[in-house]
Amino acid sequence: MFLASTSKPIDEILKNAVEKIEAQNANLAVFTARQFRYSLRQSIVELTIKEPRQFNVLEEFIIRAAIEFEPPPTADELASVLGLDAVFVKSTISTLQTLQTLAVTTPITVTTEGRLFYEKGTVPKPPYTIQIYAISDSLAETITFQSETLDDVTINLPDLGKFVNIDHNIHKISTFSLEEIQQMLQDSGLAIHVPEAGKMITDFRVLAASKIIWKPISLFVIFNALEDKFIIQISSGKQILEAATNKIESLIKESKLSLETLCGLSDEAIKIKREEFLKKFQNQDLLETAILPQITPQNPEKKSPKTQKIDPN
């Protein structure tokens, strides 16, 4: 720990986390630990979904004929081949066109989607819609989908957006293509878009304007005496936000953001705290014996150990 006379800008709610870091890592000192809030964008997204059903004998014959006959037949030609009333055949073709299995053309033409269903021995059921929530987190550079809305709670913390420019338009849901939305939902594990089972999203649209949802994050500035370097870490609960951490580090290196502006920690204060901790660390003869947790040096005789992220929780 630092000398009693040296104050550290640490928010009360993070004191336990700071004490844990410093107690478990003799070579580390937390220079500042502050909480901020930043905004997410929550959008209601309406998805159009198609699911399969087994086709009947007539539907199978019509689709197969459209694929295999050369040239493809007309409805009247098919009715003649099958010995059926043309009205009955045309009605079935119209149903398949409504389901977008057949294109609205003459002669009969199978759509790309229709072929996908046909290969599985099915045709689509009439489409239906559901609504889900898309959460755009521009700081963490993620988009997540969930069936329930996020809690809209008041968070009385400094707004990180006043210090860091966060471009919320880069993850605007309406700018994505259908294929991109399909892939994101397929990766989400929500079992909404499952092509191998014939369940497919065929369209989407964003309903109304996105809603701002506030989320708390924690910023730690940690000094590593073994390597004489600083570690900046952004976390949300127990999750370390790599993209956010990299963004803050980059802005500081480019002199577009300062720790004094962000945390009230001036360059002079950092210099004093660094010298104090290094002196204390060396006086306690820990420099050669301290071992960082979660570090596996590849070659301890030739290489210095690499510092991994610190778990503040």
Do both 110 and 137 map to the same domain?
A: no
On whether residue 283 sits in a domain, the answer given is no
H or E element in which residue 211 lies: strand 200-224
Do both 202 and 151 map to the same domain?
A: yes
On whether residue 18 sits in a domain, the answer given is no
Do both 90 and 179 map to the same domain?
A: no
On whether residue 266 sits in a domain, the answer given is no
Q: What pLDDT is attached to residue 7?
A: 61
Interatomic CA distance for residues 148 and 13, integer angstroms: 28
Do both 201 and 137 map to the same domain?
A: yes
On whether residue 177 sits in a domain, the answer given is yes
Do both 44 and 183 map to the same domain?
A: yes
Contact 217/236 with Cβ under 8 angstroms? yes
Interatomic CA distance for residues 192 and 87, integer angstroms: 37
Do both 64 and 196 map to the same domain?
A: no
Q: What pLDDT is attached to residue 311?
A: 63
Do both 89 and 194 map to the same domain?
A: no
Interatomic CA distance for residues 134 and 172, integer angstroms: 10
Q: What pLDDT is attached to residue 5?
A: 35
On whether residue 9 sits in a domain, the answer given is no
CA 149 to chain CA mean position, Å: 16
On whether residue 272 sits in a domain, the answer given is no
The residue among 149, 141, 150, 132 whose CA lies nearest residue 201 is 132
- CA dihedral for 208, 212, 215, 219, sign (positive or negative): positive
On whether residue 21 sits in a domain, the answer given is no
Q: What pLDDT is attached to residue 276?
A: 87
Residue found under tokens 């220079």: 31
- CB contact set of 257 (below 8 Å; sequence gap of 6+): 163, 164, 248, 251
- Rounded to two decimals, the pTM is 0.70
The residue among 290, 312, 152, 295 whose CA lies nearest residue 245 is 312
Residue found under tokens 């649209």: 205
H or E element in which residue 80 lies: helix 75-82
Q: What pLDDT is attached to residue 106?
A: 85
Do both 44 and 176 map to the same domain?
A: yes
Query: Which pair of structure tokens corresponds to residue 54?
Result: 């087994």
Do both 200 and 176 map to the same domain?
A: yes
Range of the domain at 140: 40-48+127-158+170-214
Examine the fold and report which residue of 94, 121, 148 is the final residue of a domain before the chain moves on: 121
Do both 61 and 210 map to the same domain?
A: no
Q: Give the CA angle between residues 165, 160, 239 to the nearest 5°.
A: 110
On whether residue 280 sits in a domain, the answer given is no
- CB contact set of 261 (below 8 Å; sequence gap of 6+): 163
pLDDT per residue as tens, the chain (313 positions): 333 334 678 999 999 999 998 998 888 999 999 999 999 999 999 999 999 999 999 999 999 999 999 998 999 999 999 999 999 999 999 999 999 999 998 889 999 989 988 988 999 999 999 999 999 988 888 899 999 999 888 899 999 988 888 877 777 888 899 999 999 999 988 999 998 888 999 999 999 889 999 999 999 999 998 888 888 999 988 888 898 899 888 888 888 888 888 888 888 888 888 888 888 877 765 445 544 444 344 444 444 444 445 666 6
Q: What pLDDT is attached to residue 130?
A: 97
The residue among 268, 226, 277 whose CA lies nearest residue 30 is 277
Do both 176 and 68 map to the same domain?
A: no
* Domain count of the fold of the chain: 2
Do both 117 and 136 map to the same domain?
A: no
**In this structure, what CATH number is given to the domain that contains residue 104?**
1.10.10.10
